[in-house]
């Protein structure tokens, strides 16, 4: 009995909001997975650290310690696998999960190599550098899952929270790699030119990641992070870095510093974990709030629909209403009908404005991820074209950016554009022709 007009329009308005809600529920599940991945990454970083200590010293007491951390990894891995098992891969969700699922498949593939890797470590049948590299790859695969989750989220607030978390995790991972690099250098008593270079890159990388984290994080997590940066732990780490960078084959330091460095960096990384836990909590809280908000709005849309249905039951009103639907140019015979008409259009306009805002905010938040993608891809290009190590590629890219007074990501973009245009990719491309 209700006129044809409003139901069809409202049906799609409701469907639009419902689609948003379903997307958000799905995103919330992805975020829960991300928090589990974050715990697994932390456990793997610990196992990597103690594997390095074990491989560099072969103290039998270390083995027991290592086993404990391996068990922590196993339990965190089980949680991740359970969350993955619980995902309904056969559901008809139309949302494009292609990239996320591919990243997960890659991470799983690497995770399955862990038992073999552990055996080789325990039997000391693997070089420290190779063991570290394998675990760096494994952790990198897990971080890629978090990156993809951030890059595909459709809610700006949640995207911001994911960008903050991803950058923090990445910064913490570089801190873990710095710990490992320091263990090797201090165990030898000094850092050669290549290791100094590597150490500097890891320190710079951390600074970049944490700067992005600071841009996107808020509240408690940020307060905790600033407190951590100001405390004595960070100052001691800075002193140790200075020592490391001043060593040479001629100016060795006591190898006992190795243990101290490791303990100090471990305490720093554990303190970071507290910030990370706060970020995880913030992320899930964001999901909860966004869902509550959208459910509320969906309810108010439903209220409107109900009002129309009510009108439809009274034949007098229904008649009035369908006259109104045909006689759009005549003045409304009933204030209520007119109000309903108007509020439909208002709701539509509000929704359009909101979607525009959401899109702008998403674009801004994803920009930080895009910069990272560009730099990684430019590095890879240089590695392939000039047969460089990642570290060498990074140095080359950074040097070229400094020479040309460009931001790293701007240089990376030009480099990739020039390569895509089939021109020979050069670390120092022309200053014009950005696209």
Q: Which residues bind a second copy (CB under 8 A)?
A: 4-5, 8-20, 22-23, 26, 81, 84, 89-102, 104-106, 108-109, 112-113, 115-117, 119-120, 125, 154, 325-329, 344-345, 348, 351-352, 355, 360, 420
Q: Are 103 and 145 in contact (CB under 8 A)?
A: yes
- Least distance (Å) between residue 175 CB and a second copy: 27
Please say which residue, 8 or 133, places its beta carbon nearer to a second copy: 8
Distance from C-alpha of 72 to C-alpha of 80, rounded to nearest angstrom: 13
Distance from C-alpha of 179 to C-alpha of 161, rounded to nearest angstrom: 27
276's tokens: 């990370």
DSSP annotation of 248 reads -
- Least distance (Å) between residue 141 CB and a second copy: 10
222's tokens: 């940020």
Please say which residue, 19 or 313, places its beta carbon nearer to a second copy: 19
> Which residue reads 């593939």 in tokens?
109
- Least distance (Å) between residue 47 CB and a second copy: 17
> Which residue reads 């920009």 in tokens?
367
- Least distance (Å) between residue 59 CB and a second copy: 24
Nearest to 169 by CA among 36, 319, 345, 333: 36
> Which residue reads 């470590």 in tokens?
121
Main-chain phi, psi angles of 308, to 5 degrees: -65, -40
Q: Are 33 and 104 in contact (CB under 8 A)?
A: no
Please say which residue, 23 or 57, places its beta carbon nearer to a second copy: 23
Q: Are 394 and 379 in contact (CB under 8 A)?
A: yes
- Least distance (Å) between residue 277 CB and a second copy: 27
Spell out the residues 6+ positions from residue 241 whose beta carbon is closer than 8 angstroms to its own.
199, 203
- Least distance (Å) between residue 318 CB and a second copy: 16
Please say which residue, 199 or 416, places its beta carbon nearer to a second copy: 416
In sequence order, what E strands does 104-161 have?
none
DSSP annotation of 139 reads H
Distance from C-alpha of 333 to C-alpha of 243, rounded to nearest angstrom: 85
69's tokens: 């951390």
Please say which residue, 22 or 309, places its beta carbon nearer to a second copy: 22
Please say which residue, 88 or 250, places its beta carbon nearer to a second copy: 88
Distance from C-alpha of 364 to C-alpha of 220, rounded to nearest angstrom: 23
Please say which residue, 27 or 222, places its beta carbon nearer to a second copy: 27
**Torsional sign, CA 168, 170, 171, 173:** positive
DSSP annotation of 231 reads S
Please say which residue, 85 or 242, places its beta carbon nearer to a second copy: 85
Please say which residue, 62 or 97, places its beta carbon nearer to a second copy: 97
- Least distance (Å) between residue 266 CB and a second copy: 28
Q: Are 306 and 39 in contact (CB under 8 A)?
A: no
- Least distance (Å) between residue 378 CB and a second copy: 13
Please say which residue, 269 or 374, places its beta carbon nearer to a second copy: 374
- Least distance (Å) between residue 285 CB and a second copy: 22
- Least distance (Å) between residue 261 CB and a second copy: 30
Distance from C-alpha of 218 to C-alpha of 216, rounded to nearest angstrom: 7
């Amino acid at each position: 009995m209700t006129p044809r007009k409003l139901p069809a329009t409202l049906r799609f308005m409701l469907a639009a909001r419902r689609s948003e809600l379903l997307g958000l529920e799905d995103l919330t599940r992805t975020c829960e997975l991300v928090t589990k991945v974050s715990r697994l990454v932390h456990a793997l970083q610990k196992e990597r650290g103690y594997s390095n200590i074990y491989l560099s010293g072969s103290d039998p007491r270390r083995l027991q310690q290592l086993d404990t951390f391996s068990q922590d990894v196993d339990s965190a891995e089980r949680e991740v696998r359970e969350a993955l098992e619980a995902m309904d891969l056969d559901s008809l969700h139309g949302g494009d999960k292609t990239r996320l699922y591919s990243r997960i498949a890659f991470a799983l593939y690497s995770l399955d190599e862990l038992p073999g890797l552990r055996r080789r470590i325990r039997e000391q049948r693997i070089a420290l550098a190779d063991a570290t590299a394998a675990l760096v790859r494994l952790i990198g695969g897990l971080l890629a899952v978090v990156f993809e989750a951030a890059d595909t989220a459709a809610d700006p607030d949640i995207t911001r929270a994911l960008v903050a978390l991803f950058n923090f995790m990445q910064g913490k991972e570089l801190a873990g790699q710095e710990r490992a690099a320091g263990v090797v250098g201090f165990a030898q008593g000094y850092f050669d030119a290549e290791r100094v270079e590597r150490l500097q890159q890891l320190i710079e990388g951390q600074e970049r990641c944490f700067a992005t984290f600071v841009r996107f994080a808020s509240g408690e997590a940020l307060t905790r992070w600033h407190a951590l940066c100001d405390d004595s732990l960070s100052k001691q780490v800075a002193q140790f870095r200075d020592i490391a960078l001043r060593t040479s084959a001629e100016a060795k330091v006591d190898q006992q510093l190795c243990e101290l460095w490791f303990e100090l960096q471990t305490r720093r990384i554990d303190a970071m974990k507290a910030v990370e836990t706060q970020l995880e909590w913030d992320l899930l809280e964001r999901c909860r709030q966004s869902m509550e908000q959208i459910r509320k709005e969906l309810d108010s849309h439903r209220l409107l629909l109900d009002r129309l249905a009510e009108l439809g039951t009274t034949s007098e009103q229904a008649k009035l209403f369908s006259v109104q639907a045909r006689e759009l140019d005549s003045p409304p015979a009933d204030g209520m009908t007119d109000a309903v008409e108007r509020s439909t259009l208002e709701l539509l306009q509000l929704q359009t404005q909101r979607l525009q805002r959401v899109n702008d905010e998403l674009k801004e938040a994803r920009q930080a991820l895009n910069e990272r993608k560009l730099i990684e891809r430019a590095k890879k290009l240089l590695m392939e074209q000039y047969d460089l190590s990642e570290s060498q590629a990074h140095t080359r890219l950074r040097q070229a950016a400094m020479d040309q007074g460009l931001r790293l990501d701007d240089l990376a973009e030009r480099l990739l554009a020039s390569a895509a245009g089939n021109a020979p990719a050069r670390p120092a491309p022309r200053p014009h022709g950005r696209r």
